[in-house]
Structure 1
Amino acid sequence: MGKCMVPPWQVRGKLRAIGLALIPILFSLQGLPARAGSPEGGGPCVDPAASARAVVSIFWRFGAPRRDGWEEIVGERATAWFYTSPRLLVTAAHFANELPTDGWQEAELRQAVREGEPEVTARVRLRVAVNGRLSGRRDGGAGRNAGLADDVAIIELQEPFPHATVLEVQPRPPEEDAAVLVLGYPGGRMEAAQGIVRRNGELAARYAGLALFEVQGSNRLLLGGGASGAPVLDCGQGRVVAVLNGLLTGPALPFLPPGRVIPTPWGSPTNTAVPASALAAIRNCIP
């Protein structure tokens, strides 16, 4: 393997959820729902509909169902967006890692132009063109989060997606308190969520190289369950500043039922994302 295609440790996917248990914070991967409004202390954000044709839900079905205890897992779902061409999609590497590498694979793309309108569903053939270096260790320690800052992948479609538009990329990392907009597909349904870039010393050290932001609104767990790979756009120009790859949650509480997910406190980050500058490192590796 060359340095452009490093096989990372794989994160097992589920249709309902996918995650990495990182202590003391759960870092779940996938998802997206939302309501867009005015950012904290700022003006209106770009219209989500302007970027709708550049973002899709992507679903890949396993060759055979997998079992996780009593649960049957039939495939994986994530979000992806068109990058430089209607044939190239950016998504999260932890999703792309599950795709077979032996040639073209069948998958399903879904896209809605705006809420309430019919979705376009297309069966496509695709392959992983370039995968980031999502690497780490399963046994904990400092290396556990290593490579999350490279959790991006580029997927190639065999045929261009109809009426697709591409998103422009902002190579500079988002600044603190900047307003952002996330477009994604939780459970295959398009939603948009606004957020604010946050700085947190402890989390910044734990997730070095990642951008941190807080979803605005009452549903702090909004971006978790199908949104991995979603574009994080700057509210001013609508350019991609980062690629969504994680949900941050608080520690479990002993008086709540097992498995209950707890949001992070108000004023703290709710999600992590890979800065869009990571794409520059792998773009030249596209065959």
Structure 2
Amino acid sequence: METFQVVILALIQGLTEFLPISSSAHLILPAQLLGWPDQGLSFDVAVNTGSLLAVVIYFRRELWTMAGAWSVSIVKRESSAESKLAWWIILATIPAVICGFAFKDFISTNLRSSAVIATTTIVFGLLLWWADYAGKRQLSEYQAGWKKALFIGVAQALALIPGTSRSGATMTAGLMLGLTREAAARFSFLMSVPVSLGAAILVTKDLLENPAAIDTHALILGTVLSFVSAYACIHYFLKIISKMGMLPFVIYRLALGLFLVGFLLFV
């Protein structure tokens, strides 16, 4: 890839990974609409690692506290709000892990198309609008409970379909279940840690099994830019989401979906 393409794709990954607009769709579309070369597995690992580092560093205190409380809950069987949240995050990860292993090849072979992305972008955009409009928005992430966490985990599994958006699906589910916008976003971001780590490990395994030429400059640049843009995205999104709501992202999703429909029909 040219440096310009590396910069654009890395910024797209960092910004869209945590916004409810689907990072996978935005990484697939440049190749399909602009004829750019496929970025390859090594670049996917790099930019996903950058996004993962961003969320881990941003939530380092919460993650450290949750890890300690989770360990205490196992060793001493003492429960706390932080240990419960840690267990709920683990539980919410299971559906995506199962579906990822079961349908990974089918999804990569049959669902990475502009038509699928157009459909999921519109449908799940409307669901996000409805959840934000109708949700009670009263609960914090510490009040979710295991049933709500599992439901959000199922929504996360649906986001394996390109265009759905992992953060969009999980925030939609959280809002449906009565979480505040900030709580739904934080729960979604914390959920991204085990899923992103697992995805990076799987993609790295595929890369090692199918070695290819590696552009070190592109990987380093992609990782750094993805980290910076993802960190900024998390920070500012959490600051403005309570006032802004989800409507701007819904409008963007609908506009993107309709543009793709028009592109498929007339180009």
State the TM-score, normalizing by the size of structure 2.
0.24
Per residue, is there more strand in 1 or in 2? 1
Structure having greater relative contact order (Cα 8 Å, sep ≥ 6): 2
Larger Rg: 2
